[in-house]
A = this chain, B = another copy of it.
Amino acid sequence: MFFDEGYSGRKYIMADKSYNDGDIVIFGMPMDYTVSFRPGSRFGPNRIREASIGLEEYSVYLDRHLEDLNVHDAGDMLLPFGNAGKSIEMIETYTEQLLKDGKFPVGLGGEHLVSWPVIRSMFKKYAELAVIHIDAHADLREEYEGEVLSHSTPIRKACELIGPKNVYSFGIRSGMREEFQYAKESGMHMSKFDVAEPLKKMLPELAGRPVYVTIDIDVLDPAFAPGTGTAEAGGIASKELLEAIHAIAGSEINVVGCDLVEVVPAYDPSEQTAIAASKFIREMLLGFVK
CB contacts (< 8 Å) of A38 on chain B: these are: 40, 43, 54, 266
With A and B bound together, what is the CA distance between A242 and B192 in angstroms?
14
CB contacts (< 8 Å) of A84 on chain B: these are: 82-83
Q: Is the CB of B56 within 8 A of A176?
A: yes
CB contacts (< 8 Å) of A239 on chain B: these are: 193, 221, 234-235
Most buried by B among A223, A224, A242: A223
Q: Is the CB of B237 within 8 A of A221?
A: yes
Is the CB of A33 closer than 8 A to any CB of chain B?
Answer: yes
CB-CB nearest 5 A-B residue pairs:
A33-B33, A34-B82, A226-B270, A233-B276, A222-B272
**Smallest Cβ-Cβ distance to A54: which chain B residue:** B37
Q: Mark A56-95, 1 if CB is under 8 A from B, else 0.
A: 1110110101000000000000101111100000000000
A195 → chain B, closest Cβ, in Å? 12
Q: Is the CB of A221 within 8 A of B238?
A: yes
With A and B bound together, what is the CA distance between A58 and B179 in angstroms?
10
**Smallest Cβ-Cβ distance to A41: which chain B residue:** B39
A35-B81, A42-B39, A192-B60 are known contacts. Are A224 and B230 too (CB-CB below 8 A)?
no
With A and B bound together, what is the CA distance between A284 and B128 in angstroms?
44
With A and B bound together, what is the CA distance between A80 and B147 in angstroms?
7
A233-B224, A272-B231 are known contacts. Are A56 and B174 too (CB-CB below 8 A)?
yes
Is the CB of A172 closer than 8 A to any CB of chain B?
Answer: yes
Partner of A268, one of B173, B192, B233, B270: B270
Q: Mark A267-290, 1 if CB is under 8 A from B, else 0.
A: 111111001100110000000000
**Smallest Cβ-Cβ distance to A81: which chain B residue:** B34
| A residues lining the B interface (CB < 8 Å) | 6-11, 14, 16, 32-40, 42-43, 46, 50, 53-58, 60-61, 63, 65, 78, 80-84, 144-147, 149-150, 172-177, 180, 192-193, 221-224, 226-227, 230-235, 237-239, 242, 266-272, 275-276, 279-280
CB contacts (< 8 Å) of A63 on chain B: these are: 177
Q: Is the CB of A227 within 8 A of B270?
A: yes
Q: Is the CB of A81 within 8 A of B144?
A: yes
A63 → chain B, closest Cβ, in Å? 8
With A and B bound together, what is the CA distance between A149 and B82 in angstroms?
8
Q: Is the CB of B222 within 8 A of A175?
A: no
Q: Is the CB of A226 within 8 A of B272?
A: yes
22 pairs across A/B with beta carbons < 8 Å?
Answer: A7-B16, A9-B11, A34-B81, A35-B82, A39-B40, A55-B174, A60-B173, A60-B192, A80-B145, A80-B147, A81-B150, A221-B223, A222-B275, A223-B237, A226-B270, A226-B272, A231-B272, A231-B275, A233-B242, A234-B242, A234-B279, A235-B239
